Amino acid sequence: METRPVLGTGARTRGPTVRAVAAGSVGNLVEWYEFGVYGFLATVLADRFFAPAGDGGAGALVRTYASFALAFFFRPLGAWVFGRLGDRFGRRPVLIGVVALMSGATALIGALPTYGTVGALAPWLLTSLRIVQGLAAGGEFGGAVALLTELAPPGRRGLYGAWQSFTVALGLLAGAGVTAVTATALTGAQLAAWGWRLPFLLALPLGLVALWLRAGPAEEASERGPGRREPAVRLGWRVPALAAARVMGWSAAGYTFLVVLPSYLQLALHTDMRHALLAAVPANAGFAAVILPAGLLSDRVGRRPVLLAGAVLVVVTALPLLRLLQDPGVSGTAKGWALAAAGAVVGLMAGPGPALLAEMFPKRVRWTGLGLAYALSNALFSGCAGLVVTEAVRRTGNPDLPAFYAAAACAVSAVALMGRSREEVNRSCW
């Protein structure tokens, strides 16, 4: 059994209020709602923004995912900038600015002119707003996880950190639900003409709710007793690199099975758009159902064993799952349950993941350190998932490549989870 760090003198003995937990995690819901909507509507966006002739094929879809991936590569910069500000000046004011930036940029995407209106300027405008979103998203995760885990009562960091991942699931599920309802309620022509804008514009009221929650009375976390100053800490590269390796499987498998799936079904298996979007719902529902129990379990048995179980399960089941989806003889109900199981396996990694990252860094560099690790992992293995999978399938014609991509990343994570860094061995408390 893994030994987990214990709180130092002066730790909180009471849990935070419901509003404090909601304020800490709601920004993530807004962020991942938008990222989900972009992924689910990738084929429509390819036609509207990246296809000069208005004929969005695989090439246009690749360019759409390239724009998607570019935003992720700005996440480490956002993690560094906002992390330094949050570690120095406090969590709440920086988190307020981050969620305002994210929701504003998302709503503006819904108001953008398309290629048919402004020509080659359209993809550049979309990509510019994606970069703003990437910067904001890079700052959001580290600050929110730092806040939630610092507010958590003793022995409950896994559960409280899991709320951050749970809002990822809620955001993706909301994105899947809204896009599926929109695609079902409108004709294909209406969706392509103007209906695609509605899910993006919905981010504005969601952002206002998030701002209201974060602008309320603050709760502070005190990890050390009065009169004690935390020693100066230098953030090197070894611990962030190890942390990124530990969660890269979570990033790759999560995006492959939860976000890129609808586009994969349309491109590789020629599924119609409505059924492809509906397929994302059971996957994200299974993901959401397991996150909080997995976080709670990690408070009892340790973070790494739960994460390791999820990574190994992805390695073992990724290819059989994809083969099942490819089989026309398998019923839709069976495929739905298989997708829910795939989401649940990713949830095993997402539940304890935030607390594991938080416990790898001392308070003075926690936002910066865990934010960088998560952002780097997402930039390389989440943001690139759609680009890599789509281009690889297009070039090779092999529909099994998404499974190999997710399984390979999880295999690396499994190896990284089996060892401990010198800093982890030496650190007995936060």
pLDDT of residue 104: 92
Q: For the chain, how long is the longest CA-to-CA vector? A: 68
Place of tokens 């009562």: 153
pLDDT of residue 175: 86
Q: Give CA–CA dist 213/59, Å, rounded.
A: 42
pLDDT of residue 318: 92
Taking the chain (430 residues) in runs of 10, the rounded mean pLDDT of each run is: 43 60 79 82 85 65 78 85 83 85 92 89 91 87 83 88 87 85 88 92 89 69 43 70 92 84 77 79 90 95 95 94 87 88 94 92 84 84 73 81 91 89 48
Concatenating the DSSP letter of every residue in 326-355 gives H-TTS-HHHHHHHHHHHHHHHHHHHTTHHH
Residue 170 · residue 304 · CB < 8 Å: no
pLDDT of residue 7: 38
pLDDT of residue 396: 83
152 Cβ contact list (under 8 Å, min separation 6): 12, 15, 16, 159, 160, 161
pLDDT of residue 215: 78
Query: pTM for the whole thing?
Result: 0.76
Instruction: Look up residue 15 and give its DSSP letter.
Output: P
254 Cβ contact list (under 8 Å, min separation 6): 287, 346, 349, 350, 382
- What does the domain layout of the chain look like in residue ranges? 18-219+236-422
The residue type at 73: F
pLDDT of residue 43: 81
pLDDT of residue 16: 64
Reply yes or no on domain 18-219+236-422 having CATH 1.20.1250.20: yes
DSSP helix/strand/coil, 168: helix
Q: Give CA–CA dist 54/66, Å, rounded.
A: 18
206 Cβ contact list (under 8 Å, min separation 6): 29, 30, 33, 103
> What is the total residue count of the chain?
430
Burial (0-12, 13-18, 19+ Cβ within 10 Å), 69:
buried
Q: In Å, how far are 41, 43, 278, 280, 342 from 266, measured between CA atoms?
A: 11, 9, 12, 12, 19
Angle at 421 between CA 417 and CA 427, to 5 degrees: 115
Taking the chain, what is the end-to-end CA distance rounded to the nearest angstrom? Answer: 20
